[in-house]
Amino acid sequence: MDAPRTLYREDHELFRTTVRRFLERDYLPRQRHCPGTEALDRELWLQAGRQGLLCVTLPAQYGGGGDFGHAAVITEEFASIGVQDRALSLHSDIVAPCLASLGTLEQKQRWLPGVCSGAVILALAMAEAQGDEGECRTYASRDGDDFLINGSTCAVGNGGDYDLLLLACLTEDADGDLGLSLIMVESDRPGICPAHLAKAIRPGAGVCREGLEINLTDVRVPQTHLLGEAGRGEDYLHEALQQQQLLTAIFAARQLEQLLDPVLAQDSGPGGPPWDPQDIRLTLASIKARALSLGHGNN
C-alpha cells in the first residue's frame, strides 16, 4: 500500500533529518512534564532555535525562512515518536505567526528575533467557556497612553514558563462597546500573578482546560502593545487557529499510518496474511487513502 509522497520537496526531507536528530538527541532525553501542561527547559528552547526548528513559516529576516511544508514535517516527526507537542507548536504555529501578520514593524523587530531563537517563549491566554456564554473575565481599560489590565484568564500552553503573553481581553471602543482585543504582555510586568493550578470550580466561572490560571491586577501595558485592530481579536484568533487545526490533522494522519504499518507487515500464515480477505483489504485501503489525503496534501 505504498504511495508516492508529492507534498514534500527535497529540502523538506533534508529538514526531516534535522528534526529527527533534534528529537532523538535533545528533545526526548530532556523532556520533563509538569502538572496540567508540558514544560521544556530553557536550553531545549535555545537548542531548537539554533537548529532552525522554531517559527519556520516566519520571514527569514527574523529567523524563519521556511514554509508550511517544514511545519508539517515537524508535526509528522513528533507523531512518529508518539508525542503531541503543544509547547513548541503553540509558540511557532499560532502565536508567532499571529504576531508576524498583525504586528507593526516596531513590534516585529522588537520581539520576533528572540521568538525565533528560543530566547523569548510565547504563550497564549484566552477565556475558556464560561457556562454557555463564553464570557471573558479580563478587561483592559485605557489610561493615558497605557492599558490597565485586570481580571483572570487561562493559559493555553507554556503558561508556567513564558516571557511574552498574547492576551485576549475585552477593550472598550469610542462608543462604549466592548470587543475582544489582542495585547502583548511581558511576564515581568508588575501585577501579574504567576500561573498556578486551578484547584476549584468557581460558580459560573468554568475551568481552565490546561489547568493554569493567570490573575492580573492593574497590569500597566503601553497601548503600542495592542496587536492589530482593537475589537477584532476573535477574528484574529480564529484565523490563527486554522493552521493549527490542519497540523493536528496531519499529526493524526501520520499516527494512523504508523498504526497500519505493523498490521500490513505481519507474516503470512497458512491461510495468508490476516488482512488478506477482500473485505479487510478494502477497509485497510480506505483507511490508508484517508491518511494519505490528510498527510500528503491530496485533499
What's the predicted TM-score (pTM) here? 0.80
Contact indicator for 86, 74 with CB cutoff of 8 Å: no
Measured CA to CA, the distance from residue 233 to residue 225 in angstroms comes to: 13
Higher pLDDT, 9 or 285: 9
Measured CA to CA, the distance from residue 298 to residue 286 in angstroms comes to: 14
| Position 180 confidence tier, pLDDT thresholds 50, 70, 90 | very high
Highest mean pLDDT among 112-126, 234-248, 262-276 belongs to: 112-126
Task: Please list the alpha-helical segments (H only) found in the chain.
Answer: 10-22, 28-30, 42-50, 68-80, 87-89, 96-102, 105-117, 233-264, 278-295
Residues shown for the chain:
299
Q: How many CB atoms lie within 10 A of CB 178?
A: 12
Residue 288 confidence (pLDDT) above 60: no
| Position 249 confidence tier, pLDDT thresholds 50, 70, 90 | confident
CATH architecture of 123-231: Beta Barrel (2.40)
72, three cell numbers: 508539517
Higher pLDDT, 34 or 179: 179
Nearest CA among 37, 39, 61, 38 for reference residue 115 = 61
Query: What is 1-120+234-299's CATH superfamily?
Result: Acyl-CoA dehydrogenase/oxidase, N-terminal domain (1.10.540.10)
Measured CA to CA, the distance from residue 123 to residue 152 in angstroms comes to: 15
| Position 57 confidence tier, pLDDT thresholds 50, 70, 90 | very high
Look-up: residue for cell 464570557?
135
Tell me what the mean pLDDT of segment 152-171 comes to: 85
User: What percent of the chain is modeled with pLDDT above 70?
Assistant: 71
Domain boundaries defined on the chain = 1-120+234-299, 123-231
Using CA atoms, how far residue 16 sits from 22, 57, 165, 255, in Å, is 10, 15, 30, 16
98, three cell numbers: 499571529
Q: What would the pLDDT profile of 43-54 be if each residue is shown by its tens digit?
A: 999 999 999 999
| Position 254 confidence tier, pLDDT thresholds 50, 70, 90 | confident
Q: How many CB atoms lie within 10 A of CB 282?
A: 10
- pLDDT of 137: 84
Residue 93 confidence (pLDDT) above 80: yes
Same fold, 1-120+234-299 and 123-231: no
Look-up: residue for cell 508525542?
83
- pLDDT of 37: 44
State the chain's maximal CA–CA distance in angstroms.
82
Tell me what the mean pLDDT of segment 175-198 comes to: 84
| Position 257 confidence tier, pLDDT thresholds 50, 70, 90 | confident
Tell me what the mean pLDDT of segment 55-67 comes to: 94
